[in-house]
Amino acid sequence: MSLLLLFACESGGTGDSSGNKPKARGSLGEILLVIDSAKYAGPVGDALKEVFEASIPGIIRDESMFYTRKVDPRKLTRILKMANNMVYVTTFDDQNPGSRTINNQFTAESIEMSRTDSSLFMLRNNDEFAIGQEVLYLFGENEEELIKNLKTNKTQLQNLFINRERERLGRALFNRKNGEASLKSQEKFGISLNLPASYQLAMEEEKFLWYRQPTPTPEKPDISLFFYQTDYTDEAQLFPENIIQFRNEITKSRIYGDPAKKESYIVTETLVPPVFKNTQIDGKYSVEMRGAWKTNNLSMGGSFLSYTIVDERQGKIFYAEGFVYYPNEAHRSSLREIETILNATSFEEAVEEN
């Protein structure tokens, strides 16, 4: 399928070899949608917005999962082709000029193959115009078929770009690591934390570590990461209501908006209930929680992302969270940074190697 589709595609957009291609560029979470303007203004555009402009779950302020920019295929310049993430969208029955421009990149054989199997609606082609680039083709015989596939595969499409962004961000974040955090977490928890060097220790207790970016400014978010470990005694510890209670118990005596005011401890916001999903961290069963936080005296607030991880080998539950304070600014990039860092946590393999 890939070979048939790519046979008629532009060769890297410029005819350059991979060695001569520029590096992809663009803001974190940005997706360039290449689609005929008339199609974007209709039902297909609405379905694409449901996928790529869906709200980030769990936070009070409405923010989209990705930032999308639309461009007509006929206006796709060399500079635009260097975008980190590109999504071409078309249907083969569309005779509008923009869609025809995209359709000309497909061979007759590949179009016929798509017609005979409506489940074929997506093609990935990395580094097509630039190094480090994700290019996705979304297609269908008609709009009804394409919209059906977009809705059915919404989560898959979102995760594709979330994982791609995490890979890019990880390369930048972990260029310089906090070696002290890795050693301290091994001694304290029997795991290895992978933290960028920019995070510094703010507080330490027997079962608790808190790291923080040291110099937040109006132009820079205030991001904190904290970690806690306790015994794993019952599956009920992983129930959503118990995770919220567990979180509140950790923060109440340790994290304050103003340390001089003990009533300013952090609590979980319930106005918009946290959102939970099952996942894995380093192969271990985990419960992800996304939500909003506030201080008990309502002086501060923001967003958080946490993972409650079951470490059966040690008989422990490990709680890892990142929270951001950045009033009146978007939290999307900060939450993606937190997600990337926490997902890099390593368990017994790293400790045994040491």
Are 151 and 20 in the same domain?
A: yes
Instruction: Give the pair of three-digit tokens for residue 351.
Output: 């400790």
Are 146 and 284 in the same domain?
A: no
**Which residues, in sequence order, are bridge partners of residue 192?**
346
Are 196 and 131 in the same domain?
A: no
Q: Which of 172, 204, 238 is the last residue of a domain?
A: 172
Query: What residue has token string 């016929």?
Result: 112
**What's the predicted TM-score (pTM) here?**
0.87
Q: Whole domain around residue 71: which residue ranges?
A: 2-172
Are 248 and 168 in the same domain?
A: no
Alpha-carbon distances of 349 from 59, 79, 341, rounded to whole Å:
34, 44, 18
What's the pLDDT score for residue 280?
96
Are 156 and 14 in the same domain?
A: yes
Each residue's pLDDT tens digit, 306-343: 999 999 989 999 999 999 999 989 999 999 999 999 99
Q: Which of 172, 202, 228 is the last residue of a domain?
A: 172
Are 118 and 201 in the same domain?
A: no
Are 154 and 211 in the same domain?
A: no
Count of positions (residues) in the chain: 354
Q: Is the pLDDT of residue 8 over 60?
A: no
Are 153 and 192 in the same domain?
A: no
Each residue's pLDDT tens digit, 276-308: 999 999 999 999 999 999 999 999 999 999 999
What's the pLDDT score for residue 84?
95
CB 69 within 8 A of CB 31: yes
Are 181 and 161 in the same domain?
A: no
Of 250, 251, 282, 286, the closest CA to residue 266 belongs to 251
Are 136 and 208 in the same domain?
A: no
- Backbone φ and ψ for 104, nearest 5 degrees, come out as -65, -15
Are 84 and 199 in the same domain?
A: no
Q: How many domains does the chain have?
A: 2
Each residue's pLDDT tens digit, 123-159: 998 899 999 999 999 999 999 999 999 999 999 999 9
Alpha-carbon gap, residue 118 to 123, rounded angstroms: 13
Are 132 and 183 in the same domain?
A: no
Pairing of strands 122-124, 301-311: unpaired
Give the burial string for 107-144 (b: 16+ CB within 10 Å, else e): beebbeebeeeeebbbbebeebbbebbbbbbbbbbebe
Alpha-carbon gap, residue 49 to 187, rounded angstroms: 46
CATH number of residue 233's parent domain: 3.40.1000.10
Q: Which of 157, 172, 187 is the last residue of a domain?
A: 172
